[in-house]
Amino acid sequence: AEDIARRFAQATARFESDYLFVWLEWDGDNILMDGGIIDYGSVRQFGLYHHEYRYDDTDRWSTTIPEQKRKARYIVQTFIQLSDFLVSGKKKPIHSFSRHQLLKVFDQEFERHLY
């Protein structure tokens, strides 16, 4: 889980630094567990920082570039919840993990790799 936290933080910082919009949704068709992109049809790169751009997918809107960090952090939180479930056999609410140490690792790694 720590490796996923670090990789998602590094990838998300890179996306923001390079003005890359990547639709970060956990539906399995846009991004890999290591932060690698697999659906380049959902990727946009801008010459200037376009903080309000959203991808319109008919039934929903994507996150914006500034919101990508929050979305990636939530994906990491979901992996923490999953790991805990595999160990304990009990599914705890996602908000139970909102202050988990690995989210601090994510935040620190993001800041270290931003710009």
The residues with which 20 forms a beta bridge, in sequence order, are 45
78 residue type, one letter: T
Q: How many domains does the chain have?
A: 1
Q: Which domain holds residue 88?
A: 2-113
User: pTM for this structure?
Assistant: 0.78
CA distances to 54, 67, 87 from 4, rounded to whole Å, are 25, 19, 17
Per-residue pLDDT of the chain (115 residues; tens, 9 = 90+): 898 899 989 988 988 888 777 767 655 556 666 666 655 555 555 555 556 666 666 566 667 777 888 988 998 999 999 999 999 999 999 999 999 999 999 999 999 998 8
